[in-house]
Amino acid sequence: MEYVIEMNHITKEFGNFKALDDVTLCVKKGEVHALLGENGAGKSTLMSVLFGLYQAEQGEIKINGKPVKINNPNDANNLNIGMVHQHFKLVHNFTVLESIVLGRETVNGGFLKMDEARKKVVELSEHYKLKIDPDSYISDITVGMQQRVEILKMLYCDNEILIFDEPTAVLTPQEIDELMKIMKNLVDEGKSIIFISHKLNEIKAVANRCTVLRKGKYIGTIDVETATRETMSEMMVGRKVNFNLDKAEEKLGNVTLKVENLSVVSKISHKKVVDDVSFEVRRGEIVCIAGIDGNGQSELVYGITGLIPLQSGKIEINGKDITKDSIRKRSLAGMAHIPEDRHRHGLVLDYTVQQNVVLQTYFEPRFQRHGFIRFDAVREYAKKLIKQYDIRSGQDENSVTRGMSGGNQQKVIIARELDRDPDIVLAVQPTRGLDVGATEYIHKQLIKQRDNGKAVLLISLELDEVMEVSDRILVIYEGEIVADLDPKEVTVQELGLYMSGSKRKIAK
Protein backbone atom coordinates (compact mmCIF):
# COMPACT_ATOMS: atom_id res chain seq x y z
CA MET A 1 0.00 0.00 0.00
CA GLU A 2 1.33 3.39 -0.94
CA TYR A 3 1.26 6.14 1.61
CA VAL A 4 1.48 9.77 0.63
CA ILE A 5 2.64 10.72 4.11
CA GLU A 6 4.39 8.50 6.57
CA MET A 7 5.40 9.92 9.91
CA ASN A 8 7.08 7.05 11.72
CA HIS A 9 7.84 6.91 15.44
CA ILE A 10 7.91 10.66 15.92
CA THR A 11 9.07 11.82 19.35
CA LYS A 12 9.11 15.49 20.28
CA GLU A 13 10.25 16.67 23.67
CA PHE A 14 9.99 20.07 25.31
CA GLY A 15 12.49 19.95 28.14
CA ASN A 16 11.75 16.62 29.73
CA PHE A 17 8.09 16.79 28.80
CA LYS A 18 7.23 14.47 25.92
CA ALA A 19 4.69 16.22 23.74
CA LEU A 20 4.82 13.38 21.24
CA ASP A 21 5.92 9.92 22.23
CA ASP A 22 6.54 7.46 19.41
CA VAL A 23 3.64 8.64 17.26
CA THR A 24 3.00 7.16 13.82
CA LEU A 25 0.71 8.66 11.22
CA CYS A 26 0.28 7.17 7.76
CA VAL A 27 -2.00 8.83 5.24
CA LYS A 28 -3.02 7.03 2.06
CA LYS A 29 -3.32 8.86 -1.19
CA GLY A 30 -6.84 10.03 -1.81
CA GLU A 31 -8.27 9.63 1.65
CA VAL A 32 -9.58 11.88 4.38
CA HIS A 33 -7.56 10.94 7.37
CA ALA A 34 -8.90 12.24 10.67
CA LEU A 35 -6.59 13.11 13.52
CA LEU A 36 -8.56 12.77 16.72
CA GLY A 37 -7.56 13.73 20.23
CA GLU A 38 -8.41 15.93 23.16
CA ASN A 39 -6.80 19.30 23.69
CA GLY A 40 -3.19 18.82 24.51
CA ALA A 41 -3.10 15.35 22.98
CA GLY A 42 -0.40 16.47 20.57
CA LYS A 43 -2.39 16.98 17.37
CA SER A 44 -1.06 20.44 16.67
CA THR A 45 2.47 19.48 17.69
CA LEU A 46 2.39 16.61 15.22
CA MET A 47 1.17 18.91 12.46
CA SER A 48 3.81 21.48 13.39
CA VAL A 49 6.44 18.78 12.94
CA LEU A 50 4.99 17.95 9.54
CA PHE A 51 4.93 21.63 8.67
CA GLY A 52 8.51 22.19 9.72
CA LEU A 53 7.74 24.45 12.67
CA TYR A 54 9.26 21.96 15.10
CA GLN A 55 11.98 19.40 14.59
CA ALA A 56 11.31 15.97 16.00
CA GLU A 57 13.98 14.39 18.21
CA GLN A 58 13.30 10.96 16.80
CA GLY A 59 11.45 9.44 13.90
CA GLU A 60 11.32 9.94 10.18
CA ILE A 61 8.99 11.55 7.69
CA LYS A 62 8.40 10.07 4.25
CA ILE A 63 6.48 11.85 1.51
CA ASN A 64 5.42 9.59 -1.36
CA GLY A 65 7.74 6.93 0.00
CA LYS A 66 10.84 9.14 -0.01
CA PRO A 67 12.41 10.18 3.30
CA VAL A 68 12.45 13.98 3.61
CA LYS A 69 13.72 16.52 6.03
CA ILE A 70 11.34 19.40 6.69
CA ASN A 71 13.18 22.25 8.33
CA ASN A 72 10.72 25.08 7.85
CA PRO A 73 7.28 25.81 6.36
CA ASN A 74 8.85 26.64 2.99
CA ASP A 75 10.11 23.07 2.75
CA ALA A 76 6.58 21.91 3.49
CA ASN A 77 5.20 24.14 0.75
CA ASN A 78 7.73 22.79 -1.71
CA LEU A 79 6.52 19.30 -0.84
CA ASN A 80 3.00 20.47 -1.68
CA ILE A 81 1.71 20.40 1.87
CA GLY A 82 -0.82 23.12 2.66
CA MET A 83 -2.81 24.01 5.75
CA VAL A 84 -6.13 25.72 6.43
CA HIS A 85 -5.72 27.24 9.85
CA GLN A 86 -8.45 27.37 12.43
CA HIS A 87 -8.26 31.13 12.39
CA PHE A 88 -8.01 32.23 8.80
CA LYS A 89 -5.00 34.18 7.79
CA LEU A 90 -6.51 36.56 5.27
CA VAL A 91 -6.05 40.24 4.57
CA HIS A 92 -9.37 41.94 5.16
CA ASN A 93 -9.12 44.75 2.66
CA PHE A 94 -7.97 42.52 -0.18
CA THR A 95 -10.32 41.03 -2.73
CA VAL A 96 -10.80 37.30 -2.88
CA LEU A 97 -8.61 37.09 -5.96
CA GLU A 98 -5.83 39.14 -4.42
CA SER A 99 -5.90 37.00 -1.29
CA ILE A 100 -5.60 33.79 -3.25
CA VAL A 101 -2.63 34.87 -5.33
CA LEU A 102 -0.87 36.63 -2.45
CA GLY A 103 2.70 35.39 -2.34
CA ARG A 104 2.48 33.72 -5.77
CA GLU A 105 1.54 36.66 -7.95
CA THR A 106 1.89 36.34 -11.70
CA VAL A 107 3.98 39.26 -12.85
CA ASN A 108 5.34 40.71 -16.02
CA GLY A 109 8.35 42.93 -15.56
CA GLY A 110 7.36 43.81 -12.02
CA PHE A 111 3.75 44.56 -12.92
CA LEU A 112 0.92 42.37 -11.74
CA LYS A 113 -0.76 40.28 -14.38
CA MET A 114 -4.00 39.38 -12.73
CA ASP A 115 -5.71 38.03 -15.82
CA GLU A 116 -3.78 34.78 -15.81
CA ALA A 117 -4.28 34.39 -12.09
CA ARG A 118 -7.98 35.11 -12.44
CA LYS A 119 -8.31 32.46 -15.12
CA LYS A 120 -6.62 29.86 -12.96
CA VAL A 121 -8.64 30.76 -9.87
CA VAL A 122 -11.94 30.63 -11.73
CA GLU A 123 -10.99 27.30 -13.26
CA LEU A 124 -10.06 25.89 -9.89
CA SER A 125 -13.22 27.12 -8.27
CA GLU A 126 -15.36 25.57 -10.98
CA HIS A 127 -13.44 22.34 -11.01
CA TYR A 128 -13.68 21.80 -7.26
CA LYS A 129 -17.13 23.42 -6.93
CA LEU A 130 -15.83 26.07 -4.54
CA LYS A 131 -18.21 28.94 -5.02
CA ILE A 132 -16.51 32.30 -4.65
CA ASP A 133 -16.77 35.79 -6.05
CA PRO A 134 -13.22 36.81 -7.00
CA ASP A 135 -13.91 40.55 -6.71
CA SER A 136 -15.57 40.72 -3.30
CA TYR A 137 -13.56 42.02 -0.39
CA ILE A 138 -12.66 39.53 2.31
CA SER A 139 -14.29 41.74 4.94
CA ASP A 140 -17.63 41.50 3.11
CA ILE A 141 -17.89 37.75 2.62
CA THR A 142 -19.17 35.09 5.00
CA VAL A 143 -16.95 32.94 7.15
CA GLY A 144 -17.83 29.95 4.99
CA MET A 145 -16.63 31.74 1.87
CA GLN A 146 -13.47 32.88 3.65
CA GLN A 147 -12.75 29.26 4.32
CA ARG A 148 -13.27 28.43 0.66
CA VAL A 149 -10.80 31.17 -0.16
CA GLU A 150 -8.27 29.52 2.14
CA ILE A 151 -8.88 26.19 0.43
CA LEU A 152 -8.48 27.75 -3.00
CA LYS A 153 -5.27 29.30 -1.86
CA MET A 154 -3.88 25.86 -1.12
CA LEU A 155 -5.11 24.55 -4.46
CA TYR A 156 -3.64 27.53 -6.26
CA CYS A 157 -0.26 26.51 -4.89
CA ASP A 158 -0.81 23.04 -6.32
CA ASN A 159 -0.80 21.44 -2.91
CA GLU A 160 -1.52 17.75 -2.87
CA ILE A 161 -1.73 17.24 0.87
CA LEU A 162 -4.22 19.47 2.64
CA ILE A 163 -4.38 19.87 6.40
CA PHE A 164 -7.64 21.18 7.90
CA ASP A 165 -7.17 22.33 11.49
CA GLU A 166 -10.55 22.13 13.24
CA PRO A 167 -12.25 23.74 10.26
CA THR A 168 -15.83 23.48 11.47
CA ALA A 169 -15.49 25.46 14.70
CA VAL A 170 -16.62 28.69 13.08
CA LEU A 171 -19.26 27.38 10.67
CA THR A 172 -23.04 26.98 10.70
CA PRO A 173 -24.47 23.49 10.14
CA GLN A 174 -25.21 24.33 6.50
CA GLU A 175 -21.68 25.52 5.96
CA ILE A 176 -20.36 22.38 7.64
CA ASP A 177 -22.36 20.21 5.23
CA GLU A 178 -20.95 22.26 2.39
CA LEU A 179 -17.42 21.80 3.67
CA MET A 180 -17.90 18.06 3.96
CA LYS A 181 -18.95 17.96 0.31
CA ILE A 182 -15.94 20.01 -0.69
CA MET A 183 -13.62 17.70 1.19
CA LYS A 184 -15.11 14.69 -0.57
CA ASN A 185 -14.70 16.44 -3.92
CA LEU A 186 -11.08 17.18 -3.21
CA VAL A 187 -10.41 13.58 -2.31
CA ASP A 188 -12.17 12.37 -5.44
CA GLU A 189 -9.78 14.57 -7.40
CA GLY A 190 -6.84 12.75 -5.87
CA LYS A 191 -5.89 15.12 -3.06
CA SER A 192 -5.16 13.77 0.40
CA ILE A 193 -6.60 15.41 3.47
CA ILE A 194 -5.64 15.40 7.13
CA PHE A 195 -8.66 16.48 9.11
CA ILE A 196 -7.98 17.57 12.70
CA SER A 197 -11.04 17.43 14.91
CA HIS A 198 -12.49 16.29 18.17
CA LYS A 199 -16.03 16.16 16.86
CA LEU A 200 -16.94 12.53 16.31
CA ASN A 201 -19.99 13.21 14.14
CA GLU A 202 -17.94 15.05 11.56
CA ILE A 203 -15.25 12.41 11.51
CA LYS A 204 -17.93 9.78 11.06
CA ALA A 205 -19.39 11.77 8.19
CA VAL A 206 -16.33 12.47 6.14
CA ALA A 207 -13.22 10.57 7.16
CA ASN A 208 -12.01 7.22 5.81
CA ARG A 209 -9.56 6.40 8.54
CA CYS A 210 -8.81 7.95 11.87
CA THR A 211 -5.67 8.13 13.99
CA VAL A 212 -6.20 8.72 17.69
CA LEU A 213 -3.71 10.42 19.98
CA ARG A 214 -3.93 10.68 23.73
CA LYS A 215 -1.50 12.63 25.92
CA GLY A 216 1.16 12.58 23.22
CA LYS A 217 0.89 8.85 22.66
CA TYR A 218 -0.26 6.98 19.59
CA ILE A 219 -3.37 5.01 20.52
CA GLY A 220 -4.27 3.52 17.17
CA THR A 221 -5.56 3.97 13.66
CA ILE A 222 -9.02 2.72 12.87
CA ASP A 223 -11.33 2.37 9.96
CA VAL A 224 -14.03 4.98 10.53
CA GLU A 225 -16.79 3.08 8.81
CA THR A 226 -16.63 0.12 11.14
CA ALA A 227 -15.84 2.03 14.33
CA THR A 228 -18.58 3.36 16.58
CA ARG A 229 -18.70 6.76 18.21
CA GLU A 230 -18.28 5.04 21.56
CA THR A 231 -15.07 3.22 20.61
CA MET A 232 -13.57 6.38 19.16
CA SER A 233 -14.34 8.44 22.23
CA GLU A 234 -13.06 5.72 24.48
CA MET A 235 -9.80 5.69 22.55
CA MET A 236 -9.61 9.44 22.77
CA VAL A 237 -10.41 9.86 26.46
CA GLY A 238 -9.16 6.55 27.79
CA ARG A 239 -12.43 5.64 29.46
CA LYS A 240 -16.07 5.27 28.63
CA VAL A 241 -17.92 8.52 28.05
CA ASN A 242 -21.60 8.83 28.67
CA PHE A 243 -23.08 10.74 25.77
CA ASN A 244 -26.60 10.70 27.03
CA LEU A 245 -27.09 13.27 29.69
CA ASP A 246 -29.59 12.15 32.28
CA LYS A 247 -32.06 14.92 32.61
CA ALA A 248 -35.06 14.77 34.85
CA GLU A 249 -38.36 16.17 33.67
CA GLU A 250 -38.20 19.91 33.96
CA LYS A 251 -40.10 21.45 36.80
CA LEU A 252 -40.66 25.09 35.94
CA GLY A 253 -40.80 27.57 38.77
CA ASN A 254 -41.00 31.33 39.03
CA VAL A 255 -39.25 33.70 36.68
CA THR A 256 -35.72 34.25 37.98
CA LEU A 257 -34.17 36.42 35.31
CA LYS A 258 -36.25 38.82 33.31
CA VAL A 259 -34.74 40.96 30.59
CA GLU A 260 -36.85 43.61 28.92
CA ASN A 261 -36.03 45.60 25.78
CA LEU A 262 -32.32 45.43 26.42
CA SER A 263 -30.08 47.32 24.00
CA VAL A 264 -26.32 47.68 24.08
CA VAL A 265 -24.31 49.97 21.83
CA SER A 266 -20.79 49.04 20.84
CA LYS A 267 -18.13 51.43 22.05
CA ILE A 268 -16.12 50.96 18.88
CA SER A 269 -18.63 50.91 16.04
CA HIS A 270 -21.43 52.83 17.80
CA LYS A 271 -23.83 50.28 16.37
CA LYS A 272 -26.48 48.49 18.34
CA VAL A 273 -24.88 45.13 19.05
CA VAL A 274 -27.76 44.03 21.23
CA ASP A 275 -31.03 45.22 19.83
CA ASP A 276 -34.16 45.33 21.95
CA VAL A 277 -33.80 41.89 23.49
CA SER A 278 -36.44 40.54 25.86
CA PHE A 279 -36.68 37.11 27.46
CA GLU A 280 -37.27 35.30 30.71
CA VAL A 281 -35.54 32.42 32.42
CA ARG A 282 -37.49 30.40 34.96
CA ARG A 283 -36.37 28.26 37.83
CA GLY A 284 -35.71 24.70 36.75
CA GLU A 285 -34.84 25.37 33.14
CA ILE A 286 -31.73 25.77 31.06
CA VAL A 287 -32.24 28.41 28.42
CA CYS A 288 -29.65 28.47 25.73
CA ILE A 289 -28.77 31.42 23.56
CA ALA A 290 -27.54 29.97 20.31
CA GLY A 291 -25.88 31.95 17.59
CA ILE A 292 -22.81 32.30 15.48
CA ASP A 293 -19.94 34.00 17.22
CA GLY A 294 -20.11 37.79 17.14
CA ASN A 295 -23.86 38.21 16.96
CA GLY A 296 -24.11 40.10 20.22
CA GLN A 297 -24.23 37.25 22.71
CA SER A 298 -21.10 38.41 24.54
CA GLU A 299 -22.39 41.94 24.83
CA LEU A 300 -25.76 40.69 25.98
CA VAL A 301 -24.12 38.86 28.88
CA TYR A 302 -21.81 41.76 29.70
CA GLY A 303 -24.89 43.98 29.79
CA ILE A 304 -26.79 41.64 32.10
CA THR A 305 -23.84 41.18 34.45
CA GLY A 306 -23.03 44.88 34.50
CA LEU A 307 -19.62 44.75 32.86
CA ILE A 308 -20.71 47.18 30.15
CA PRO A 309 -23.37 49.88 30.34
CA LEU A 310 -26.80 49.44 28.76
CA GLN A 311 -28.27 51.86 26.32
CA SER A 312 -31.78 50.98 27.41
CA GLY A 313 -33.73 48.18 28.97
CA LYS A 314 -34.54 46.63 32.28
CA ILE A 315 -33.17 43.59 34.13
CA GLU A 316 -34.92 41.87 37.02
CA ILE A 317 -33.75 39.06 39.28
CA ASN A 318 -36.50 37.34 41.24
CA GLY A 319 -38.75 40.30 40.53
CA LYS A 320 -36.24 42.85 41.84
CA ASP A 321 -35.05 45.53 39.45
CA ILE A 322 -31.24 45.41 39.28
CA THR A 323 -30.77 47.50 36.14
CA LYS A 324 -28.83 50.20 37.96
CA ASP A 325 -27.10 47.99 40.50
CA SER A 326 -23.34 47.48 40.71
CA ILE A 327 -21.73 44.19 39.77
CA ARG A 328 -21.29 43.35 43.44
CA LYS A 329 -25.00 43.92 44.13
CA ARG A 330 -26.01 41.79 41.19
CA SER A 331 -23.82 38.99 42.43
CA LEU A 332 -25.32 39.29 45.91
CA ALA A 333 -28.80 39.26 44.38
CA GLY A 334 -28.09 35.71 43.23
CA MET A 335 -26.43 36.06 39.86
CA ALA A 336 -23.42 33.95 38.98
CA HIS A 337 -21.38 34.41 35.85
CA ILE A 338 -19.11 31.83 34.24
CA PRO A 339 -17.36 34.22 31.88
CA GLU A 340 -16.48 33.73 28.26
CA ASP A 341 -12.87 34.72 28.80
CA ARG A 342 -11.65 32.81 31.81
CA HIS A 343 -8.22 34.40 31.74
CA ARG A 344 -9.36 37.97 31.44
CA HIS A 345 -12.39 37.90 33.69
CA GLY A 346 -12.70 34.57 35.41
CA LEU A 347 -9.51 34.41 37.41
CA VAL A 348 -6.84 36.57 38.90
CA LEU A 349 -4.28 34.35 37.22
CA ASP A 350 -1.46 35.16 39.62
CA TYR A 351 -3.59 34.37 42.65
CA THR A 352 -3.66 30.88 44.08
CA VAL A 353 -6.66 28.60 43.96
CA GLN A 354 -7.67 29.55 47.47
CA GLN A 355 -7.42 33.25 46.72
CA ASN A 356 -9.50 32.77 43.58
CA VAL A 357 -12.32 30.77 45.10
CA VAL A 358 -13.25 33.66 47.39
CA LEU A 359 -13.10 36.34 44.70
CA GLN A 360 -16.70 37.39 45.26
CA THR A 361 -17.13 36.27 48.85
CA TYR A 362 -13.94 37.36 50.63
CA PHE A 363 -15.78 40.10 52.48
CA GLU A 364 -18.34 37.75 54.03
CA PRO A 365 -17.99 37.21 57.79
CA ARG A 366 -17.03 33.58 57.26
CA PHE A 367 -13.85 34.67 55.49
CA GLN A 368 -12.91 37.80 57.41
CA ARG A 369 -12.84 39.24 60.89
CA HIS A 370 -12.41 43.00 61.39
CA GLY A 371 -11.02 43.28 57.89
CA PHE A 372 -8.43 40.56 58.40
CA ILE A 373 -8.62 37.51 56.17
CA ARG A 374 -9.44 34.29 58.00
CA PHE A 375 -6.82 32.22 56.27
CA ASP A 376 -7.90 28.97 57.91
CA ALA A 377 -11.46 29.39 56.75
CA VAL A 378 -10.39 30.27 53.21
CA ARG A 379 -8.04 27.29 53.08
CA GLU A 380 -10.65 24.88 54.37
CA TYR A 381 -13.18 26.23 51.90
CA ALA A 382 -10.73 25.85 49.01
CA LYS A 383 -9.93 22.29 50.11
CA LYS A 384 -13.62 21.48 50.22
CA LEU A 385 -14.19 22.80 46.68
CA ILE A 386 -11.09 21.05 45.35
CA LYS A 387 -12.42 17.77 46.66
CA GLN A 388 -16.00 18.34 45.64
CA TYR A 389 -15.26 19.54 42.11
CA ASP A 390 -12.19 17.35 41.57
CA ILE A 391 -9.85 20.24 40.78
CA ARG A 392 -6.41 18.91 39.99
CA SER A 393 -3.20 20.86 40.26
CA GLY A 394 0.34 20.53 41.51
CA GLN A 395 -0.03 22.10 44.92
CA ASP A 396 -3.79 21.95 45.48
CA GLU A 397 -5.10 25.08 47.19
CA ASN A 398 -1.70 26.79 46.93
CA SER A 399 -1.33 26.35 43.17
CA VAL A 400 -1.14 29.56 41.23
CA THR A 401 -3.98 29.33 38.72
CA ARG A 402 -1.85 30.59 35.82
CA GLY A 403 0.04 27.31 35.79
CA MET A 404 -3.03 25.10 35.76
CA SER A 405 -4.61 23.38 32.77
CA GLY A 406 -7.57 25.04 31.07
CA GLY A 407 -9.99 22.42 32.29
CA ASN A 408 -8.94 22.81 35.89
CA GLN A 409 -8.99 26.59 35.67
CA GLN A 410 -12.54 26.33 34.44
CA LYS A 411 -13.37 23.97 37.30
CA VAL A 412 -12.11 26.57 39.78
CA ILE A 413 -14.48 29.12 38.26
CA ILE A 414 -17.38 26.72 38.15
CA ALA A 415 -16.80 25.62 41.72
CA ARG A 416 -16.69 29.23 42.88
CA GLU A 417 -19.76 30.30 40.94
CA LEU A 418 -21.98 27.31 41.68
CA ASP A 419 -21.03 27.00 45.33
CA ARG A 420 -22.37 30.47 45.99
CA ASP A 421 -25.76 28.86 45.46
CA PRO A 422 -26.90 31.38 42.86
CA ASP A 423 -30.46 31.59 41.59
CA ILE A 424 -29.35 32.26 38.04
CA VAL A 425 -26.14 31.11 36.40
CA LEU A 426 -24.96 32.79 33.22
CA ALA A 427 -22.59 30.33 31.61
CA VAL A 428 -20.85 31.63 28.51
CA GLN A 429 -19.23 28.93 26.40
CA PRO A 430 -18.37 27.07 29.58
CA THR A 431 -16.82 24.15 27.71
CA ARG A 432 -14.79 26.05 25.17
CA GLY A 433 -11.40 24.50 24.63
CA LEU A 434 -12.10 21.72 27.10
CA ASP A 435 -11.78 18.03 26.43
CA VAL A 436 -14.62 15.54 26.37
CA GLY A 437 -14.22 14.53 29.99
CA ALA A 438 -14.31 18.06 31.35
CA THR A 439 -17.17 19.00 29.03
CA GLU A 440 -19.23 16.08 30.25
CA TYR A 441 -18.52 17.13 33.82
CA ILE A 442 -19.53 20.74 33.29
CA HIS A 443 -22.74 19.78 31.53
CA LYS A 444 -23.63 17.56 34.46
CA GLN A 445 -23.01 20.40 36.88
CA LEU A 446 -25.27 22.75 34.93
CA ILE A 447 -28.01 20.15 34.79
CA LYS A 448 -27.65 19.51 38.50
CA GLN A 449 -28.15 23.20 39.05
CA ARG A 450 -31.32 23.10 36.96
CA ASP A 451 -32.61 20.00 38.73
CA ASN A 452 -32.12 21.78 42.03
CA GLY A 453 -34.64 24.36 40.90
CA LYS A 454 -32.18 27.05 39.80
CA ALA A 455 -32.15 28.86 36.48
CA VAL A 456 -29.37 28.57 33.94
CA LEU A 457 -28.71 30.80 30.95
CA LEU A 458 -26.23 29.09 28.67
CA ILE A 459 -24.54 30.89 25.81
CA SER A 460 -23.02 28.46 23.40
CA LEU A 461 -21.62 28.26 19.90
CA GLU A 462 -21.54 24.46 19.89
CA LEU A 463 -24.70 23.07 18.39
CA ASP A 464 -24.32 19.68 20.06
CA GLU A 465 -24.19 21.42 23.37
CA VAL A 466 -27.20 23.56 22.52
CA MET A 467 -29.26 20.56 21.50
CA GLU A 468 -28.26 18.28 24.35
CA VAL A 469 -28.23 20.50 27.37
CA SER A 470 -30.94 23.09 26.91
CA ASP A 471 -34.65 23.04 27.64
CA ARG A 472 -35.33 26.03 25.45
CA ILE A 473 -33.32 27.68 22.69
CA LEU A 474 -33.26 31.37 21.90
CA VAL A 475 -31.52 32.12 18.64
CA ILE A 476 -29.64 35.39 18.41
CA TYR A 477 -28.82 36.94 15.06
CA GLU A 478 -27.26 40.37 14.67
CA GLY A 479 -28.18 41.32 18.20
CA GLU A 480 -31.79 40.29 17.97
CA ILE A 481 -33.56 37.23 19.30
CA VAL A 482 -35.03 35.73 16.12
CA ALA A 483 -36.50 32.49 17.46
CA ASP A 484 -37.64 30.77 20.63
CA LEU A 485 -37.41 27.03 20.00
CA ASP A 486 -37.89 23.70 21.74
CA PRO A 487 -34.84 21.48 21.22
CA LYS A 488 -37.07 18.41 21.07
CA GLU A 489 -38.90 19.77 18.07
CA VAL A 490 -36.22 21.52 16.10
CA THR A 491 -33.53 19.92 13.95
CA VAL A 492 -29.93 21.04 13.79
CA GLN A 493 -30.45 22.04 10.17
CA GLU A 494 -33.41 24.24 11.01
CA LEU A 495 -31.49 25.80 13.87
CA GLY A 496 -28.70 26.60 11.43
CA LEU A 497 -31.11 28.50 9.23
CA TYR A 498 -32.18 30.69 12.15
CA MET A 499 -28.57 31.24 13.20
CA SER A 500 -27.52 32.34 9.76
CA GLY A 501 -30.40 34.78 9.55
CA SER A 502 -32.17 33.07 6.67
CA LYS A 503 -35.22 32.35 8.77
CA ARG A 504 -36.91 34.06 11.67
CA LYS A 505 -39.82 33.26 13.89
CA ILE A 506 -40.13 36.34 16.04
CA ALA A 507 -41.16 39.30 13.92
CA LYS A 508 -39.26 42.54 14.05
Partner 1 sequence: MKKQKFELSKGGKDFIASIAAIAAGLLFGLVILLFSNARQAFPAFGMILKGGFTDGLSGIAQVLYVATPIILTGLSVGFAFKTGLFNIGAPGQFTCGAFAAVYIGVKWTFLPAGAHWIVALLGALIAGAIWGMVPGILKAIANVNEVITSIMMNYIGMYLVNILIVKFVYDPVRNQSVPVAKTANIPKAGLDKLFNYSNINISIFIAILAVIVIYIVLNKTIFGYELKACGLSPEASRYAGINAKRNIILSMTIAGALSGLGGGLLYLAGSGKYLQVVDVLAPQGFNGISVALLGISNPIGILFAGLFIGHITVGGNNIQLYNFVPEVVDIIISTIIYFGAFALLIKSLLDRFRRRPSESGAVKEEK
Give residues in contact with partner 1 (CB under 8 A): 14-18, 215, 305, 307, 326-331, 337, 339, 344-351, 355, 359-360, 362-363, 367-368, 371-373, 392-394, 403, 405
What's the CA gap between 168 and 178, in Å, rounded? 11
User: Shortest gap between Cβ of 379 and partner 1 (angstroms)?
Assistant: 14
**Residues near 280 by Cβ (< 8 Å), separated by ≥ 6?**
255, 257, 258, 259
Closest to 27 in 3D by CA, of 8, 49, 5, 45: 5
Residue 53 vs 349, nearer CB to partner 1: 349
By C-beta, is 86 or 360 nearer to partner 1? 360
**Least Cβ distance, residue 262 to partner 1 (angstroms):** 19
What is the 3 state secondary structure string of 213-267? EECCEEEEEEECCCCCHHHHHHHHHCCCCCCCCCCCCCCCCCEEEEEEEEEEECC
Nearest alpha-carbon partner for 337 in 391, 298, 295: 298
| Residue 425 host element (H or E) | strand 424-428
Question: Would you say 164 or 302 has its CB closer to partner 1?
Answer: 302
Calculate the CA dihedral of residues 175, 236, 459, 351 and round it to 10 degrees: -140
Q: How far apart are the first and last CA of the chain?
A: 60
H/E element, 162: strand 161-165
**Minimal distance, residue 375 CB to partner 1, in Å:** 8
Nearer to partner 1, 337 or 450 (CB): 337
Nearest approach in angstroms of CB 329 to partner 1 is 8
Least distance (Å) from partner 1 to the CB of residue 360?
5
Nearest distance, CB of residue 414 and partner 1, angstroms: 15
Q: At closest approach, how far in Å is the CB of 11 from partner 1? A: 14
Based on CB atoms, which residue is closest to partner 1, 40 or 496? 40
Q: Kindly tell me which of 279 and 367 has the beta carbon lying closer to partner 1.
A: 367
Cβ neighbors of 371 (< 8 A, separation 6 or more) are: none
Q: In whole angstroms, how far apart are CA 189 and each of 28, 183, 185, 430? A: 14, 10, 6, 40
Residue number, 380 or 478, with CB nearest to partner 1: 380
